[in-house]
Chains A and B, each alone.
Chain A
Amino acid sequence: MHIPDNFLSTPVWLTLDGVAAPAVLWVSRRARKELDEARIPLLGVLGAFVFAAQMVNFPVGVGTSAHLLGGALLTAILGPAPAALAMTAIIATQAFVFQDGGVLALGANVFNMALAGVLAAWLPLRLFAGRRSVGLFLAGFFSVMMSAGLALAELTFSGIQMPSKLLALSVGLFAVGAIVEGTITLAVARAIERLNPRWTGAPVHQGSRVWAGITFAAVLVVVLGLFAASSAPDGVMRIGQWADLHARPVLAAPMADYSLPLGPLWLRRSAAALLGLCLVGGSAAAASYFLLRRRSS
């Protein structure tokens, strides 16, 4: 899932670098506030632990083996902001020292795995605080689905054309990988808790439950949308064409006299995609906000 350089088109990597840099600054400030000074070496050493843990093979199925990716486990141990920072350090080290993932694509990889991946892991931990096993499994599952789905979407945006069958196959493989990550995360976290329950007691309980629910709904929409898009690309394309046909006159009408230069094609497309994501996320957020408020009141 580490995207090397030259796979993403310039607008995509530039935008994601621009998004990831301030986000990492914010995460780092937050982590500094949350952590006492004694835990600073711990973050680095646990980053090294995740590196080493990736070398331990877990048998899954006939003759195949998998390894832990670690984002969800770090989140359960450290809490969201320190875990995101530790993942950033891991990804940067992989890019510079091992040429695993690009340097220009560092923003994209950090965004996929350290920011969105850790967020997707933290939400189920927060929501299923009472049922820890469910939370741990879902944390592993959604962190992988989120990172892999975003990486796939970015590659597609960059104009890498994939036959629809291959796309469906890779989403299927991601789902299997996500289930494996969830199972391994659960097993390892349980084993660590047996050694010392204090070690996995990250402060995942803070923060508003309502907002966690809303964001989790948005994550669900993205992941389900990925399945829908891969199983029926033609249908999604048709919806896109329909929306384009019907939306363009409405959007263009007020600007017809001004002949506004809307910019090159990639800008229009990215803007449309961003707008679509905001719309979907917004409606999911609004719906779950009302649902959750009704339930909690």
Chain B
Amino acid sequence: MHHVVVEQWSRRHSFVHQRDARAKLLVALALLAALATSPASPVTAVPFALLVAVGIVAARLPLVSMLKKAAVVLPFSMLFGAVEWVAGQPLAGAALLVKSYISALTVLLLVASTPQPALLRGMESLGAPRLLVLMAQTLYRYLFVISEQAQHMRLAAVCRQGSAHRSQRRAFHAAAGALAILFARSYVRAEGIHRAMAARGFAGEFHSLRPPRFTRMDAVFAGVGSAVAVLAHLLVSHA
């Protein structure tokens, strides 16, 4: 599956992986905001692209695979880039394309160097509502379980019916029925999960074996990272 690779990347060891999730979140937000507020020209993105590349190398992540994964934004950006081009602003269209790609790469670097539970815990201590964080955690934990169940159901359906020899109408209702079954299975699974959690003494929050520590190194990383983002912004704005 798509995301299993990123999950494995996030559990590697490097200088970037060791930093606290809050420090990385702050630096990523600073980079994104600095890029978003800089002038609309493709040249603007060059220093930011270099910064993200440095981050990827420092995190010892595979550059080419990262570049490929971030390309998921390109179809949407190309569409709007083409719209801008038709409207007579080819430069703005190109800037849109390049900047949205660099932004996606920045976010990918963040999630590929931070395990999901640590990232969510960081968001919670930065002020995200606890119920939302709990939900996002459960969602992430069961996302692949339920997606795989959906794929198995689809495979089973294809095996049973061969190729589609049915009317559109019946195929539509069959899909609706399949979703209802998937819903029923998810619902029953959620009840089981709650019983298991209650049996283990769940009282409204997840505990961690290693509570996050914001070290002096994290403070330096956050400070230097944000300062570099601001400098890059000033550089491209006045050049």
Contact = CB atoms under 8 A, between A and B. Distances in A.
Interface residues of A, number: 68
A265 interface: no
Contacts of A48: 138-139, 142-143, 145-147, 186
A83 B86 CA distance: 39
A98 B73 CA distance: 10
Given A46-B190, A52-B149, A196-B184, A7 B96 contact: yes
Contacts of A38: 191, 194, 198
Q: How large is the interface on B (under 10, 10 to 19, 20 to 34, 35 or more residues)?
A: 35 or more
B100 interface: yes
B184 A192 contact: yes
A55 B150 contact: yes
A15 B33 CA distance: 14
A88 B28 CA distance: 21
Contacts of A49: 146, 182-183, 186
**Secondary structure of the B side of the interface?**
helix
B234 to A, nearest CB: 16
Given A44-B136, A85-B135, A103-B107, A199 B80 contact: no
B207 to A, nearest CB: 16
Interface of B: 2-3, 6, 28-29, 32-33, 35-37, 69-70, 72-73, 76-77, 80, 83-84, 86-87, 89, 95-96, 99-100, 103-104, 107-108, 110-111, 116, 119, 129-132, 134-143, 145-147, 149-151, 154, 168, 171-173, 175-184, 186-187, 189-191, 193-194, 197-198, 204
Interface of A: 2, 4-7, 10, 13, 24-25, 28-29, 31-32, 37-38, 40-49, 51-53, 55-61, 68, 85-86, 88-90, 92-93, 95-100, 102-104, 155, 160-163, 166, 184, 187-188, 190-192, 194-196, 199
